[in-house]
Chains A and B, each alone.
Chain A
Amino acid sequence: MIKYIFEGTRTVFILSVAMALSVAESGWAGNEELNASESNKHSHEMNGRGPASDPLDPVPYRMRALQLRDTAVPLTTGTEFNPAISVILDFTYANFTDDIDDPPGFLVGGGHGHGHGHGHGVEEGFNLREMEVTFSGSIDPYFDALAVFNVTPDDLEVEEAYITTRMLPAGLQVKAGKFLSDVGYINKQHIHDWLFVDAPWMREFMFGDEGLNEAGVQLSWVPPTPQYTRFGVEILEGATPGVSSFVGDGRHEIVTLLPDAGSPERVRWRADKGFSDTTGPRLFTGFAKWAPDLGYNHAIQFGTFGGYSREFQAEEVHSSGRLETWDGDAWFAGGDVVYKYDGQGVMGHGNVVIQAEYMYRELDLRYQSREFESFSSLVTTDANDQRWQQDGLYVQGVYGFLPRWNAGARLDILGLINDGFENRGDSVDFGTSYRYTGQVAYGPTEFSRIRAQVSYNDIADGHDEWQFMLQYSMSLGVHGAHAF
């Protein structure tokens, strides 16, 4: 019986090859004919001709269908072997009533590793916030690649550059390179995916301006279940300010002038900081996502995530020569949910997106304050063990109230739990900060968008302020499909 099956398959194969060959020949002739009629095609389009001499179908379609057997033909426009290129420009104008205070307690080490000048923060006045240049394509049948460069007027940085596997069995996929982690929902989104001008506080202060964006490897698995589920683990270098801040070994060095009457002398003070130079990977994360099937109009996805960093190092250097260091480890965990409704309207009319995320982090640190006791050694003047416990969350919703238009509101809460330490080592509750944001956006096409946003910040230290922002973003070139 098996023999017959094989015989049959072989016969069919030989027959189809023979047919393909013979048809391929006639196909060539047909194509010439087609080219000849090409120039007349447009002039005939309006008045048309009889079906017997259809200029659009000069070769009987049956023959052409058999001729096109291959699959290795280019599948996207004008890219052939070149990667698809997209350029996204993001301009902002911002005006704040006051200098922006950061919510207190979140920057261990006096604010190092964080600053509004760099990254995705919005500055006052007119700004070209970023030009995001993306190259994407398939390297070979086994790998896809993506590279995202972020060009600002003074800087060029690699935002993401990674490969993903295409051909692993059993629903497995490996991503390797520098990439935005899949923990949570908003972390892996780029500026133009955000539904507001700026990122939620949670992402900015629990991770840092760049989010959790690290070099490393990710393994994820989608089991063949009727409901979408995805599990993943990531092994990362560990250099994200909020959860895996890293300094490494190095020497603390200052230069002073010793006042020697008449001829001051330059003196160099130098001593080891005492941080261990742990080679990466230092940060390990995991995530799970689950999305029940709610039909064509509704979609919801729940996620949970966590991570552990075996090193958390921060320092603050004072001009007096005093060195403060925090050294220990950190972990974080959280959950996210996103709901989308397809309003079935034109250009986003009636669509709803609601998303919320919560995240908690804990830093277990040894604090030391040290001063020079000689030109080459430090003495500890103050030390204690610190456990920082903090959290953040946001809830936001956006509704397409007209074709091309949407409006949204967002609530940021940072520090419902906000237990940290003042520099002298006193345990402190830094308090809870709130931000209330509203935005309206207009997108003439899916390739351009203008957005206006107002926020009121109620900072835990007693300050409050208003922020007004305008954003214009546009997309040039072949922009890839958006993940959910």
Chain B
Amino acid sequence: MRKIITVFLLALLAHIAHAELQVVATVPNMGALAREIGGDAVNVRVLAPPDRDAHYLEARPSMMAALRRADIVVSVGAELEIGWLPAAIQGGHNRRIQRGQPGYFEAARKVELIGVGKPADRALGDVHPMGNPHFYMDPERFAEAGYALAERFGSLSPDNAEYFMANAESVDERVSGMMPKWRERAESAHGVLLYHEDADYLLHALDVPVLGYIEPLPGIPPTARHLRSIISELSGRDGVIWTMDFQPAEGGQFLSRELGWPSVRLPSQVHTDGDLDDYFSMIDNWVDTLKVSE
């Protein structure tokens, strides 16, 4: 009898130990990271599709249903999701994922952000005094967040802690393997004119200058006056214009005609089921556009 109970308890324990962690990621890039770190020990669901601006989503019942059953929510943080995630979490009625609990993860807390401590003055646009949240555009910071995520996954599922850490190391190694190639391809790039302060991280990582922003202020669509000032400042120089797929194309197209620069509009997130390979090809596509033709 005792044997049976022991076996049963062991089986139960094994079941608990091996049950997949239910992970909810806010944006597809964080979903890809969670998938890569968690491997087959996690089940990942993504709240926002890749072609939306994560600043301006709305809390929806389907998000709340997903969060209700989550063991952990993996967010970018630094107030990127502030307009919807807190409401979705409150509607999810799940104590595991409340702020301050192990099941609440903000990746931006774990990496060095740029633009920290800018004045919290909305006359300067929709600013993020906590720092620029788009760190996921820098593959090295992305890998760095992977270690923090592995550690957090490990605290929720201690049996798999070493497995998660090994996965984080493999992400790190693969990123380290790619970075020199990307830097080489970006060498002698003239610089990039961005729509919003989002690809700054990638450009810093590749040592490519940021030539300016099509938005006059963060969150404010381009004005004719601002576009004219960009033209007068940059005409005669070389560069390329980057616009994310969810941002309006018109400003970039106009400047492309006026300056004679190539204008590219590409995704900044992998698809909702994406993994690290998809992330690499997303970065690849951006880096490709930096090639200097001459």
Contacts and interface: CB of A to CB of B under 8 A. Distances in A.
Given A5-B159, A77-B130, A346-B221, A62 B172 contact: yes
Interface string B91-119: 11111001111101010011110100000
Contacts of B60: 291, 299, 340, 484
A48 B204 contact: yes
A220 B151 contact: no
Contact of A51 (B92, B98, B145, B207): B207
B151 A66 contact: yes
A266 interface: no
A446 B83 CA distance: 10
Contacts of B79: 76-77
A5 B13 CA distance: 11
A49 B93 contact: no
Contacts of B93: 168, 171-173, 220-222, 230
Contacts of A138: 99-100
Interface string B58-82: 1111101100110000000101001
A346 B248 contact: yes
Interface string B231-272: 000000000000000111000000000000000000000000
Interface in B180-237: 183, 204-205, 207-210, 219-221
A73 B88 CA distance: 21
Contact of A68 (B61, B65, B68, B109): B109
B274 interface: no
A480 interface: yes
Given A50-B207, A144-B90, A166-B95, A65 B147 contact: yes
Which of B62, B99, B204, B246 has the most C-beta atoms of chain A within 10 angstroms of its own C-beta? B62
Interface of A: 1-2, 5, 9, 12, 16, 34, 45-51, 54, 56-57, 61-62, 64-66, 68-69, 71-73, 75-78, 138, 141, 144, 164, 166-169, 171-173, 220-228, 230, 289, 291, 293-296, 299, 301, 340, 342, 344, 346-347, 403-404, 445-447, 480-484
8 closest A-B pairs by beta carbon, nearest first, are A291-B61, A228-B61, A481-B87, A61-B144, A228-B65, A222-B93, A65-B147, A293-B62
Interface of B: 10, 13, 17, 48-49, 51-52, 56, 58-62, 64-65, 68-69, 77, 79, 82-88, 90-95, 98-102, 104, 106, 109-112, 114, 120, 122, 126, 128-130, 140-141, 143-145, 147-148, 151, 154, 158-159, 161-162, 172, 179, 183, 204-205, 207-210, 219-221, 246-248
